[in-house]
Structure 1
Amino acid sequence: MIVPLLHQWTKANALFKPPVINQCRTIELKLTKLWHKAVETSLGKGNLARKNEFLHTLDSLFDILTCKCSIQLCSESNCSHSGKRENNSHIDCGCPREKKIPVLELEFIKAQRTKAEGQGSMQMGSIDYSETKKQIVNAKKREQIREREQKKKMKSEEAIQREEELCQDVYHFFDSSSDEQEATSDDIGRLFVSFKKSSPINVNATKLSELVDLSLEVLEPPLTTSLTSQELRNLKETPMQVLKWPSHTQSVERCVKMVTEAAGHVYSHERRE
């Protein structure tokens, strides 16, 4: 029962779909209520005034629009634009934008709501294919814009989340370092995380092997600079599992982009606070 009804509304305008019109469940309840009234009237239940009221509503529009705001024609308000534009009606609507009646259909809805004895100034005809095609294209564009804005918002939220996780890691790092530095004298070795010391670079080098003089001092590999002394001793029994760190140019550029996005959220003194 609902499918032909929705098809008839969509036939009038492709924009007649939820939330401009009621949801299917609401339409079902309205139809059920109307059917009960019809049964009661046919059985002679109720007074004469109620019967006449029901018979009068049979000629009016079965209104499933969400917006119930009053529509006024230009001819009724002595508007100067009467007959000079495609839409000859006005509506003082406070409904949300997504629930508003399409401006092109205001005059049609006005005629359907006020028609008597099955006749009105405007009747539902065949589909306007050119207008329907235009409406479908515009609806797709609006949906694409909404999806782009949603993706942009999600990326922004992900950047903020990554930034918060990074801050938590930094706080945890310094807290753990402070706790290990306060260890008792009975602890053996250096328990706090070591800091990497960069060796001097020979700017006059002509070969890659001449950049750093390896004979000056023993340099710690970068992979072990984040390990404590105890963790280093444990590697004697359990070999170190080296992760696959991305080291090519594209990965570095991607990280630079992520850092730039994260920095944009804490730029200025106001945002840092």
Structure 2
Amino acid sequence: MDDRWPLLDDSLAALVREAWAARWAIAMGGALGLAVAVLVLFLATPRYAAEVILSPASPLSSAADPAATPNDNLTLFLHIYAGPSVARTLLKAEPKAVARLREDRLFPLSSSPLEADPEAKDLSAYLKRQVVAAHVGNTALTRLTYVHPDPDFATAFLEIVRRTADDRIRDMSRSAAAARTAYLGEALARTANVEDRRALAALLMEQEHITMLTAMGEPFAARVVEPAAAAPRPVWPRTLPTLLVLTVLGGAVGFAAHLWRAWARAG
């Protein structure tokens, strides 16, 4: 056995003795870790989490596709809310909100998550990282969470993203219904057969009904169950965990330094 490493015998008593011998190094390391923790807490930019709870929209929106269900519409919502199409719309319609995303920093001097003039792909990547979707238990509900230094902005931005994605799905359904309406209208004008005209007229009325539904102001794909709201306390930094982790880490570094010095002296 190498006598330069007193812990190699795997003895708890040896570990305790060595820790006692290193008590001043551990204390100094812990104090240094505590000082670093206080500095982190002082310099860190508090960030607040806003959440909104969504459910599938009412069955009215399912009329846009008779084979679809409300859950299908919510699934589509969850696929596109952070996609390039929504990002492009946000860049055009909400430039002030997009500009405020650059404030999302862990520390005042840390780099911004977005460039001054981001492209749609950059904003989409940011949304995928920062606007997090999670199922609520085994229910059909979904929670969207967004973290930002300004809790009021975090709340407002979640609603902007929800509304933009919902409107995007509404526009897709409206465009599809308009295309079908135009085609069915032309087909109806060309058809003389009474039965065919009756079938085409029924399909045309269905598409006009869909167009009417898309014009309503109700949520189309995702209905808000709990409006967006931010927690009163920041999720970053966490005071107690930061103090504990960095203090313990500092003590461990002090203990490791003591062992290194003991090994160097023995060598």
Coarse TM-score class (shorter-chain normalised): under 0.3
The structure where strand makes up a greater share of residues is 2
**Higher RCO (CA < 8 A, seq sep 6+):** 2
Larger Rg: 1
- The TM-score, its normalising length taken from structure 1, stands at 0.25
